[in-house]
Structure 1
Amino acid sequence: MGEHKRVRLGVVGLGAMGGRVFDIAVGHPDFGVVRAADVRRDAVDRVAAAHPSVVVSTDPADVVDAADVDAVYIATPPSFHADLAVAALSAGKAVFCEKPLAVSLSDGRRMSDAAASSGLATAVNFALSDRDVVLELERRLRAGEAGTVLGVDVRLQFPKWPRAFQADALWLDGREQGGFVREVFSHFAYLTDRLLGPLRAVDVSADFPSSGSETTARGLLRAGEVPVHFSGLSGVAGPEVYEWTLWGTEQSYRLRQWTHLEIFTNDTWTPYDPGLASGSDATRLTLFAQAVRTGSAPNLADFPVAYRVQEAVEAFHAVS
């Protein structure tokens, strides 16, 4: 596919995340959005009214099997990811998927295997993939500025789950597919995997109410020999917290609320100012278009990487 030619994109799932990425893709110079599907008629009707040139359907197969689609973006609840992604890859289409990769490990393995067999581009939309602060963390670690890495702490805290912007996604408050471990911890598991290597669960657990997703999760994992401690709470009387801290012998790094990086050196935390912030759904679409055209893209997780992350995430469900 020539670099001058737009990637013809089909979108499956038009909820909070899918609708947002659809809107970005419609205006993106690397893509032409040609088809969209959602099982909800009201979501399809909204797209049809605003974008009459896009072919819409309530049947995802009308996107996945369409001859005029080069790549499929999947933003359905995660239990549907595997069947859709495997079908799309089998039909010769690259796939950009929301996280988590899947819920069951067998589904995740199917997706990873299908990606390897097809040779086509695959990617999972981890929000930290191409953030400027992550690239800076990566640079400092590769340069050895942290010294010896002694450990990582991850802390998540939610006054309300699901969060307000996801209130319509009822599956997020169910144990079968939802919960903050899958939806949010997966981002920080990906970050740790990327910087330090694959995670393995050592001693992890989660507490579930009689119905709904987990209210607490805690555990020890390791990236190689580096201990990774995780603590998460929902329904707490307190602020919403997203915090990832790496402790080194020379420098330590704290990432707060997704975008704020602080560096501990000379006995104080100093904010890192990246200048112009980077990293967004739009830039990850740019990277995905590059992967479709060339077979690879920097700073974008493919299905095998996302499967490693899924193994760490699902360990909390396997023992609880």
Structure 2
Amino acid sequence: MTTNIAVVGLGLMGRRMLSALARQEELVCRWVWDRDAECTGEVAAEFGLPAAESWQAILADGSVRAVYIATPPASHGEYARAALAAGKPVFVEKPLTVDLTDGEDLVRAAEDSALPVVVNFPFATLPGLARIRRELADGTAGAILRADIQLHFSQWPRTWHHAGAWLNGPKEGGFLREVFSHFAYLTHTLLGPLRLQNGTVERPAGETERWAMARYLAGGVPVFLSGGAGGAAPDFNRWTLYCENRCYRVEDWSKVQVSTTEGWQDLPPDAGESHGLEMQLVEWSKALRGESHALATALDGAQVMRAVEALLNI
């Protein structure tokens, strides 16, 4: 049985989602739409999909069961609440929103509607995550000592960021919202919500941050962040969890390793685990069927947003 959805927001992530949808059969894109009419037409032609005349037309279409939202972050709350009011579950890109009150309103709307609202943090389906969680719980890893998050970007926005205007603006953009949020979610899902203890951010007036350093606590565990943009070195991201008996490392989005004092080795995933948007869609399908799923909830997204915005507003 197939489920009709609409894809709203046709920038980089919207197009990636359309490509992933084309590689599976359960979720069918009924409409594409972007507030830029020219973009809507181009993407509809590129993917051979029908273009909606308006956002209101999508809301009014009873055949559309759910909506994927990949618009700029400041508009996520508005679109998501409208979809929920129309009885349509939502899969929204991260960050949930960029305004704390807006995010809290969306969490309440999700709770009141009793419809699934999930957030696209791909680490939710990271191969190896289940094993890390299991080894933390059963004592194999030993006492959890600290987590480190390291980020570097040779420039921001990056060269492949086509929607550079908002990505380089202080209202919605910057690497803390766009990238740190992923690793904040990874930490959150393993250790608990992050609470900022102290930090510093360099952000020129009217621009996004150039560098940031911070100390958080997550479930009583210290979490250290160091990130910056600028400098002639390759981009990289690395998350490391230091435990008494074992340590775990995630870098470059999908490389998962475990170590003892003898060195690092790749961490084999559990049977059936795979990574990427296709797995996110498998889990979204479960959510739409009312089944247990692995995706981040609206509450998860709001807690991650609080951790990020707390540092940006320090």
Q: Where on the TM-score scale, by shorter chain, does this alignment land: which range?
A: over 0.9
Is structure 2 residue 193 aligned with structure 1 residue 198? yes
Is structure 2 residue 297 aligned with structure 1 residue 307? no
Match of 1:280 among 260, 276, 281: 276
Range that drifts further, 148-157 or 247-256 = 247-256
Deviation of 1:53 after TM superposition, in Å, equals 5.1
Deviation of 1:25 after TM superposition, in Å, equals 1.7
Which residue number in structure 2 is paired with residue 132 of structure 1?
A: 127
Aligned-partner Cα distance in 1 for 2:118–2:13: 16
Taking only the aligned residue pairs, the percentage that are identical comes to 36
Match of 1:19 among 12, 15, 19: 15
Letter in 2 for 1:29: E
Letter in 2 for 1:68: S
Q: CA RMSD in A?
A: 1.7
Q: How does 1:24-63 map to 2 (within 5 A)?
A: 24-51=20-47, 54-57=50-53, 59-63=54-58
Match of 1:157 among 152, 164, 167: 152
Deviation of 1:260 after TM superposition, in Å, equals 1.4
Secondary structure of 2:76's aligned partner = helix
Runs (5+) with no aligned partner, structure 1: none
Deviation of 1:27 after TM superposition, in Å, equals 4.2
Letter in 1 for 2:178: E
Secondary structure of 2:123's aligned partner = coil
Is structure 2 residue 172 aligned with structure 1 residue 186? no
Q: How does 1:80-229 map to 2 (within 5 A)?
A: 80-229=75-224
Range that drifts further, 303-312 or 62-71 = 62-71
Secondary structure of 2:43's aligned partner = helix
Secondary structure of 1:315's aligned partner = helix
Which residue number in structure 2 is paired with residue 292 of structure 1?
A: 288
Range that drifts further, 26-35 or 308-317 = 26-35
Residue pair 2:3, 2:65 contacting (<8 A) in 1 also: yes
Deviation of 1:51 after TM superposition, in Å, equals 4.9
Letter in 2 for 1:214: E
Secondary structure of 2:63's aligned partner = coil
Aligned-partner Cα distance in 2 for 1:169–1:63: 27
Secondary structure of 1:128's aligned partner = helix
Letter in 2 for 1:25: L
Which residue number in structure 2 is paired with residue 256 of structure 1?
A: 251
Deviation of 1:178 after TM superposition, in Å, equals 0.4
Residue pair 1:155, 1:232 contacting (<8 A) in 2 also: yes
Letter in 1 for 2:310: A
Deviation of 1:290 after TM superposition, in Å, equals 1.0
Residues 65 and 164 of structure 1: CA distance in aligned 2, closer, same or farther (over 3 Å): farther
Offset from partner CA, 1:209-252 (integer Å, 9 cap, x none): 23321000110100121000001100122121110001111111
Offset from partner CA, 1:132-168 (integer Å, 9 cap, x none): 0322322221222210001000000000111222133
Secondary structure of 1:165's aligned partner = coil
Range that drifts further, 139-148 or 175-184 = 139-148
Aligned-partner Cα distance in 2 for 1:29–1:208: 44
Letter in 2 for 1:46: E
Offset from partner CA, 1:54-97 (integer Å, 9 cap, x none): 2423x323223432211000000000000100010111000000
Deviation of 1:46 after TM superposition, in Å, equals 1.7
Which residue number in structure 2 is paired with residue 64 of structure 1?
A: 59
